[in-house]
Structure 1
């Protein structure tokens, strides 16, 4: 039952995260929303809301008790700055310079990075399945980014760089959260991580420095969706799934995220996607499905944490 709950949570969270990325791209394109302002605002508001849910529905004493133990407080700050802020900012920057589909697909190289990390830590051995999935990932990225031609990349280099860094950040985010979740509720960990990341970024890009006069009703509705569903619920459900799933399983079951991002980018934002890019998407999706079905070899991921 717990496993089924974890699967449902990660799938819902992944869909919201994927669609939220596409909605963010619309905010960047049509409403000229600054990526730094959006990341700062969504982190601060979503973080406060998550702690509010904890306060009214669960053990409210955990909200401040988390800061009384240095062995928890210091890792939480690291998780907020490198994990939460890292995932949020690199992903949004990749969307701003490219599109949500490419950004999300690059981010989902994280499972491959987790495999490599486990190999380096000698927590698992290299299998034929690992070699197959890495090959699929590399082929997928090649077709996705070049559209079948080496002479010209189909997306700007900055989008590729930020997208790759987003995958690194997601791998770190997934693995680093486990010890914290063993001691405190996911609402507390995710909520404070968002606030920490939001405060850090607000020192560079204050969220109050924005002209709201150009905001329309659609702007506010899109912002509400990005903050509530694409940030608060997406990250909460993903982290909560780690309570009953291995890290690699959660990252792989999130394969519906790139699918949601690709479909909404192509059919809602009407952005073109070439045949080789669809082929690259297919390779990456096959890679994730193979890893997700290879459940028997996922137990070593728990040991890695």
Structure 2
């Protein structure tokens, strides 16, 4: 949740109006932890969704509709549970600019990332999709440097170089003359990268004003309604059993509500660039769970590519 404003703090105690360095470090540490846990949940969720789509023939868009139209109520319930959040929820509904910002998050971040990720998982694997998604850091780096009017730091450049090298190995198997992924999988993976950058950038401003749960809840609700009108999920109902229902509950509660709430709180506390880089905890969870639960195998070149991208975590933690 957003901290108190500087004005409110100043009224209570003028000498401590601005947070000291220790408070800033604590906030960044909290953001780092949120991003790492949220990324892990997202990676596990990718494996669960891959299993659902492969075993039960669930269409990715049906899964997106279900997750958004159920997880949104968890976010809104959390927003309604605290007086400050209730005030933020009521405020954003009355504020024209706030409504526009929520719509931008719904379309440019939530809907975009949900559809792109599940399509990439469907065409490749949860591990490959999450690794490709990490390329969004390049766009976040450009945005961050342009906004701050500075050049990239050497650690950021090294992290970017490692990520690009790892993606090259993953896409080509080390042979520039061949494509190691289905063309559709490569395209959706690159779209994932763009959506990941949007997810790191677009929610930051409205969340700072209206709060994590308020922005998430309304954005998920709007995104789910728009997609449902276009896709009509009731015409694509899959046949499910108890195991599938349990997996769907996990996907909604942990993989969607938990991952987005923690990740976007991490964006707010740690900043877009650091969140985008540390979000590479997703491929770790996705790769391990894919191997253990789905029996997916990767070549040595694939693993080297994964390792190069995940090395960014150690450069930015």
| TM-fit CA distance, 1:126 | 3.5
- CA deviation vs aligned residue, 1:52-83 (integer Å, no higher than 9, x gap): 12213443243232121111111110111111
C-alpha separation in 2, matches of 1:282 and 1:182: 34
Q: Report if the CA contact (8 A) 2:137-2:160 is conserved.
A: no
Aligned residue runs from structure 1 range 2-81, under 5 A: 2-58=27-83, 59-81=85-107
- 2:17 is matched with which residue? none
Are residue 219 (structure 1) and residue 244 (structure 2) matched?
yes
Give the match for residue 255 of structure 1.
280
The count of aligned residue pairs is 291
Q: What aligned pairs does 1:265-280 form with structure 2 within 5 A after superposition?
A: 265-280=290-305
69-78 or 244-253: which moved more?
Answer: 244-253
Q: Which 4+ residue blocks in structure 1 deviate beyond 4 angstroms?
A: none
TM-score by length of 2: 0.87
Partner of 1:162: 188
Alignment of 1:178-197 (within 5 A): 178-197=204-223
Distance 1:247 1:211, change over 3 A: closer
RMSD: 1.7
Q: CA deviation at 1:218?
A: 0.6
Equivalent residue for 1:302? none
Q: Extract unaligned runs of 5+ from structure 2.
A: 1-25
CA contact (8 A) 2:108 2:202 kept: no
* Correspondent of 2:234 among 208, 216, 222: 208
* Alpha-carbon spacing, 1:192–1:7, altered in 2? closer, same or farther (3 Å): same
Report if the CA contact (8 A) 2:163-2:308 is conserved: yes
Superposition map of 1:65-144 within 5 A: 65-121=91-147, 123-144=149-170
> Shift of the alpha carbon at 1:183?
1.2
Q: Distance in 1 between matches of 2:136 and 2:168?
A: 16
Question: 1:245-273, CA deviations, whole angstroms, 9 ceiling, x for partnerless residues?
Answer: 11111222222111101111122111120
Q: Note the residue ranges of structure 1 that are not aligned, 5 or more in a row.
A: 294-305
Question: Over alpha carbons, which structure has the higher Rg?
Answer: 2
* Rounded Cα–Cα distance in structure 2 between residues aligned with 1:125 and 1:56: 43
Instruction: Please report how far the alpha carbon of residue 8 of structure 1 lies from its aligned counterpart in structure 2 after TM superposition.
Output: 2.2
Match for residue 284 of structure 1? Answer: 309
Q: SS where residue 133 of structure 1 aligns?
A: helix
How far apart, CA to CA, are the structure 1 residues paired with 2:87 and 2:198? 28
